[in-house]
A and B are shown apart, each in its own frame.
Chain A
Amino acid sequence: MKEVDARGLSCPEPLMLTANALKGATEAVKVLVSEPHQKMNVEKYARDHGKKSTSTEKDGYFEVVIE
Chain B
Amino acid sequence: MNLSDSKKKLALAGVVCGLVAVCLALMGNPANMAFCIACFIRDTAGAFGMHQAEVVQYARPEIIGLVLGSFLISAATKEYRSTAGSSPMIRFVLGVIIMIGALVFLGCPLRMIIRMSAGDLNAWVALVGFILGIATGVFALKNGFSLGRAYATNKINGAVLPMIVTGILVLALATSLLKASEAGPGSMHAPVIASLIGGLVFGAFAQKSRMCFAGSMRDVILMKNFDLLSVIAGLFVVLLIFNIATGRFVAGFNTPGVIAHSEHLWNILGMYTVGFAAVLAGGCPLRQLILAGQGSSDAAVTVVGMFVGGAMCHNFGLAASGTSLNPETKELVAGAVPPNGKIACIICIIICFVIAFTCKREDAKK
Contacts and interface: CB of A to CB of B under 8 A. Distances in A.
A12 B149 contact: no
Interface in B79-118: 79, 81, 83, 85-86
A44 B141 contact: no
A7 B149 contact: yes
A20 B149 CA distance: 19
A8 B151 contact: yes
Contacts, number: 53
Interface in A1-52: 7-13, 15-16, 19, 34-37, 40, 44
A37 B283 contact: no
A12 B150 CA distance: 14
**Contact residue range for chain B?**
20 to 34
B79 A37 contact: yes
Given A36-B79, A40-B4, A10 B86 contact: yes
Contacts of A36: 78-79
Contacts of B78: 36
A10 B281 CA distance: 8
B223 interface: yes
A35 to B, nearest CB: 6
B263 interface: no
A16 B222 contact: yes
Contact of B282 (A10, A40, A60): A10
B218 interface: yes
A34 B81 contact: yes
B81 A35 contact: yes
A13 B81 contact: no
A53 B1 CA distance: 21
Contact of B223 (A9, A12, A34, A37): A12
B2 interface: yes
10 contacts: A7-B149, A8-B85, A10-B147, A13-B146, A34-B83, A34-B152, A36-B79, A37-B210, A40-B5, A44-B5
Given A9-B149, A11-B283, A34-B81, 16 more contacts: A8-B151, A10-B146, A11-B282, A12-B218, A12-B223, A13-B141, A13-B146, A16-B142, A34-B83, A34-B152, A36-B79, A37-B79, A37-B210, A40-B2, A40-B5, A60-B152
